């Protein structure tokens, strides 16, 4: 029987320490061929260090990094077959755009048997800057400069593309445009990509799979939809999107639904997607309900709350409610004030985890 091919990229128990700081802590993950894989997490959680360990700019204190099943310990960055794009554009200002892209070909022949000029033209076409070859990098917008940086990284035809916060210097609208373009380029090439961002919305929008990192370790890996709908910890529930995260105690369990008492009030919570073992009376659970799952007017769960403040966001208004001393977030199109009744479908509540403290 043929065995599965090894993952395109693999980190196996990788730790990286700097003196007393553990930047990456016994981290294991694998990225499939052609996958767009994103590392997301708050500042200092070890995303950039992980990317630098993959690129070969850093060596692990312990653990193994593999490309296509091959241990790359001691293999320098230029021999790892990875193209890297950094946060700052890092284009050479004294070279034209075409010369910048061709720089990626200084040490290797263009793939596919084409000439250097043909390869540069191919890449500028790919990043949708076919006529920019003779321009100075300075004359391009930030987003265009990052596309040139991508073209340069891709010119030698690497197996893997590594992107470290490539959009962080751009304004919000440009970031949204560029992330669509980055995804299109990645899909056109089918290139295995590891992308680092602190922006959870960007991570959800662009990725096949996301690893949410915390304190040098992976907290949860999954498809964007699963990370959003079924966060595996309080940290993920609170980091990814707006959420209402509540701690309570189980009073009853029947027909796939638990009655969880929070702040003295019983809430019905569906257990259909809970895979953390049998739920019994007295268990302490952490439950989340997304703001968009709360609707005004009650329902199976009827909560009486008071409007504390509201932020008008255009499409919706984000309303902060006080309910039995808990802050609840709700999204609505109608203005709300004073006392309101809100509810949610038990199936829209998700048990995040068990918790031992109340």
List interacting residues with ligand ATP (CB under 6 A): 18, 21, 23, 41, 43-49, 198
Give the shortest CB-291-to-ligand ATP separation in angstroms: 26
Q: Which is nearer to ligand ATP, 213 or 285 (CB)?
A: 213
Q: Which is nearer to ligand ATP, 169 or 253 (CB)?
A: 169
Q: Where are the beta strands (DSSP E) in the chain?
A: 9-18, 21-31, 36-40, 62-67, 70-71, 82-85, 160-164, 192-197, 209-214, 217-222, 244-254, 257-262, 265-270, 284-289, 295-296, 303-312, 317-323, 326-332, 339-343, 349-354
342 phi, psi to nearest 5 deg: -125, 155
Q: In this structure, what token pair is assigned to residue 231?
A: 């966060």
Give the shortest CB-62-to-ligand ATP separation in angstroms: 16
Match 């004073």 to its residue by tokens.
Answer: 338
Q: Which is nearer to ligand ATP, 35 or 58 (CB)?
A: 58
Give the shortest CB-38-to-ligand ATP separation in angstroms: 13
Q: Which is nearer to ligand ATP, 46 or 346 (CB)?
A: 46
Q: Which is nearer to ligand ATP, 43 or 280 (CB)?
A: 43
Q: Which is nearer to ligand ATP, 157 or 216 (CB)?
A: 216
Give the shortest CB-26-to-ligand ATP separation in angstroms: 14
Distances (CA, A) of 339 to 32, 114, 219, 322: 51, 70, 38, 9
SS3 call for 261: strand
Sheet holding 21-31, edge to edge: 21-31, 9-18, 62-67, 70-71
Give the shortest CB-80-to-ligand ATP separation in angstroms: 19
Per-residue DSSP letters for 3-15? Answer: PPPPPSEEEEEEE
Give the shortest CB-17-to-ligand ATP separation in angstroms: 9
């Amino acid at each position: 029987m043929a065995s599965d091919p090894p993952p395109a990229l693999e980190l196996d128990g990788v730790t990286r320490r700097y003196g007393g700081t553990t930047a990456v802590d016994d981290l294991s993950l694998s990225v499939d061929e052609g996958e767009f894989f994103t590392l997301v997490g708050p500042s200092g959680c070890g995303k950039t260090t992980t990317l630098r360990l993959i690129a070969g700019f850093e060596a692990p204190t312990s653990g193994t990094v593999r490309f296509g099943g091959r241990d790359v310990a001691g293999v320098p960055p230029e021999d790892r077959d990875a193209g890297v794009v950094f946060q700052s554009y890092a284009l050479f200002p004294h070279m034209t755009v075409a010369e910048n892209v061709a720089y990626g070909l200084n040490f290797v022949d263009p793939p596919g048997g084409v000439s250097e000029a043909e390869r540069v033209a191919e890449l500028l076409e790919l990043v949708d800057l076919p006529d920019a070859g003779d321009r100075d990098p300075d004359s391009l917008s930030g987003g265009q400069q990052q596309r040139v940086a991508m073209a340069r990284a891709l010119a030698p035809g690497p197996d893997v593309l590594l992107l470290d916060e490539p959009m962080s210097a751009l304004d919000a609208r440009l970031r949204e445009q560029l992330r669509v373009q980055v995804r299109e380029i990645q899909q056109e090439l089918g290139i295995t990509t590891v992308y680092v961002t602190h922006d959870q919305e960007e991570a959800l929008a662009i990725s096949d799979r996301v690893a949410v990192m915390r304190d040098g370790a992976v907290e949860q890996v999954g498809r964007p939809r699963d990370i959003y709908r079924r966060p595996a910890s309080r940290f993920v529930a609170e980091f990814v999107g707006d959420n209402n995260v509540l701690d309570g105690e189980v009073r009853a369990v029947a027909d796939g639904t638990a009655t969880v008492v929070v702040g003295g009030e019983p809430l019905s919570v569906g257990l259909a997607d809970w895979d953390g073992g049998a739920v019994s009376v007295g268990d302490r659970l952490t439950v989340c309900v997304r703001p968009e799952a709360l609707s005004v007017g009650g329902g199976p769960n009827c909560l009486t709350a008071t409007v504390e403040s509201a932020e008008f966001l255009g499409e919706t208004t984000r309303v902060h409610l006080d309910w039995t001393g808990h802050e609840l977030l709700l999204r609505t199109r109608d203005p709300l004030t004073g006392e309101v009744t809100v509810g949610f479908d038990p199936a829209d509540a998700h048990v995040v985890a068990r918790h031992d403290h109340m």
